[in-house]
Amino acid sequence: MVMFEDKTNAPCELFTIVKKEKVSSVINRLVIYAPDIAAKAQAGQFLIIKTRETSERFPLTLSDWNKKDGTITIFFRETGFSTTELGQLCIGEKIQSIAGPLGNPSEIRKYGTVVMACGGLGTAAAYPIARALKEAGNTVITLLGARDKTLFILEKEMSSVSSAVMYSTDDGSKGQKGQITTILQGLIDKKEQIDLVFVIGPSIMMMVTSEVTRPFGIKTISSLNAIMVDGMGMCGACRVTVDGQTKFACVDGPEFDAHKANFKELIQRLKSYASEEKIALHGGNCQCHNHT
Residues in contact with ligand FES by CB under 6 A are 228-231, 233-238, 248, 250
Q: In whole angstroms, give the CA distance from residue 233 to residue 141.
A: 34
C-beta closer to ligand FES: residue 127 or 248 = 248
Q: Least distance (Å) from ligand FES to the CB of residue 239? A: 8
Q: In whole angstroms, give the CA distance from residue 78 to residue 212.
A: 31
Q: Give the CA distances from residue 42 to residues 169, 181, 257, 265, 291, in Å, rounded to whole numbers and listed in that order.
A: 30, 28, 19, 28, 31
Q: Least distance (Å) from ligand FES to the CB of residue 59? A: 8
* 172 Rama class: left (phi>0) / alpha (psi -120 to 50) / beta: left
C-beta closer to ligand FES: residue 103 or 120 = 103
Q: Least distance (Å) from ligand FES to the CB of residue 232? A: 6
C-beta closer to ligand FES: residue 153 or 250 = 250
Q: In whole angstroms, give the CA distance from residue 263 to residue 223.
A: 11
C-beta closer to ligand FES: residue 98 or 153 = 98
Give the E-state strand segments of the chain in sequence order. 2-5, 17-22, 27-33, 46-50, 57-61, 64-66, 71-77, 97-102, 113-119, 139-146, 164-169, 176-177, 196-200, 220-223, 239-242, 245-248, 255-257
Q: Least distance (Å) from ligand FES to the CB of residue 35? A: 25
Which amino acid appears at position 164 of this protein? Answer: A
CB 213 within 8 A of CB 150: no
Q: Least distance (Å) from ligand FES to the CB of residue 113? A: 33
C-beta closer to ligand FES: residue 179 or 223 = 223
C-beta closer to ligand FES: residue 187 or 242 = 242
Q: State the alpha helices, DSSP H only, in 33-177.
A: 35-40, 81-87, 122-135, 155-160
Q: Least distance (Å) from ligand FES to the CB of residue 213? A: 27
Q: Least distance (Å) from ligand FES to the CB of residue 184? A: 30
C-beta closer to ligand FES: residue 56 or 230 = 230
CB 15 within 8 A of CB 100: no
